[in-house]
Structure 1
Amino acid sequence: MSEYERSRTMPALPEHVFDQAGDVDRLESWMPPELHVRAGDLPAVTVHEDATGQDAPALFRAEPEQMRLEWGTREDGSYAGWLQVAGIGSGASEVTLHLSFFDEGHDPGAETVHAALESSLERLEEQVRLRVDDGG
């Protein structure tokens, strides 16, 4: 099993960050660009990966009272992740993004995963900034 985690401070209230991150119709605005999520009957979703051209059944859950998102593969249990938003005062938030690969064959490697985590957090911060600057 491999686990990866990155955190980033964002200049917005945790509710704003969570609302942006947890909107299933806007996941692609911050997730890696090669992944595309189609919502089914939540928590069921389908994830299309450009690299393989395949669709994978997955789960996506938003827990607003905990400011937490959770996702993972639905059938084979090879992959899971979560995003946690926490208020840190002065209108700022800390966002932690965590990925777990339970099947080593699905782990693309530390360098690739760390780059994807950083890029996703940067993209989420940009989306949050745009939303806050536009007044919500």
Structure 2
Amino acid sequence: MTEYEASRTMAALPELVYDEAADLRTMERWLPRDLHIEPQEPPAVTVSHGAEAERERALVRAEHDQLRVEWGTRDNGHYAGWLQVAGIGAGASEVTVHLSFFDPDTAPPGAQVEAALGQSLDRLADQVEMRADQP
């Protein structure tokens, strides 16, 4: 198993950050650019990686009371992950994303995963900032 984790501080209340991160309708705005999600009957989703990629059945579970989102593939168990939002005081939050790849043959290169995690957290921070600026 290969695991990756990244964190980022955001200048917003944890509930606002969580609401943006957990919204399946807008999740693609901050996820890696080649990752596409089609919501099905909750908690089911279909995920594809790139335009020509095979679609995979997955699950996404959002736990509002815990400010946590968990996901993973349904049929093949290739990967799973979670996002956790924590308040750190003064209207700020820390967001942590964790990914686990269970099959080393299907895991992307580590540098690619680490870059995607950082870029995704940056895009989430941008989305949260835009949402916080709205009246």
In the alignment, the residues of structure 2 paired with residue 70 and residue 106 of structure 1 have an alpha-carbon distance, to the nearest angstrom, of 20
Q: CA RMSD in A?
A: 0.9
Partner of 2:9: 9
Count of aligned positions = 135
Partner of 2:24: 24
Partner of 1:104: 104
Runs (4+) off by over 4 Å: none
Q: Give the AA of the match of 2:36.
A: H
In the alignment, the residues of structure 2 paired with residue 105 and residue 42 of structure 1 have an alpha-carbon distance, to the nearest angstrom, of 29
In the alignment, the residues of structure 1 paired with residue 64 and residue 74 of structure 2 have an alpha-carbon distance, to the nearest angstrom, of 21
Q: Secondary structure of 1:21's partner?
A: helix
Q: Give the AA of the match of 1:40.
A: Q
Q: Give the AA of the match of 1:27.
A: M
Within the alignment, does 1:35 sit opposite 2:9 as a pair? no
Given the two structures, how large is their TM-score scaled by the length of structure 2?
Answer: 0.97
Given the two structures, how large is their TM-score scaled by the length of structure 1?
Answer: 0.97
Q: How far does the alpha carbon of each residue in 1:58-105 deviate from its partner, in whole angstroms, 9 at most, with x for none? A: 000100000000001011111001000000000000000000000001
Shift of 1:9: 0.2
Q: Secondary structure of 1:7's partner?
A: strand
Partner of 2:68: 68
Q: Sort the Cα spacing of 1:102 and 1:51 in 2 relative to 1 into closer, same or farther, 3 A.
A: farther
Shift of 1:53: 2.1
In the alignment, the residues of structure 2 paired with residue 79 and residue 52 of structure 1 have an alpha-carbon distance, to the nearest angstrom, of 20
In the alignment, the residues of structure 1 paired with residue 18 and residue 105 of structure 2 have an alpha-carbon distance, to the nearest angstrom, of 31
In the alignment, the residues of structure 2 paired with residue 106 and residue 92 of structure 1 have an alpha-carbon distance, to the nearest angstrom, of 36
Partner of 1:87: 87
Q: Give the AA of the match of 1:35.
A: L
Q: Secondary structure of 1:125's partner?
A: helix
List alignment gaps of at least 5 residues for structure 2: none
Shift of 1:29: 0.6
In the alignment, the residues of structure 1 paired with residue 52 and residue 78 of structure 2 have an alpha-carbon distance, to the nearest angstrom, of 16
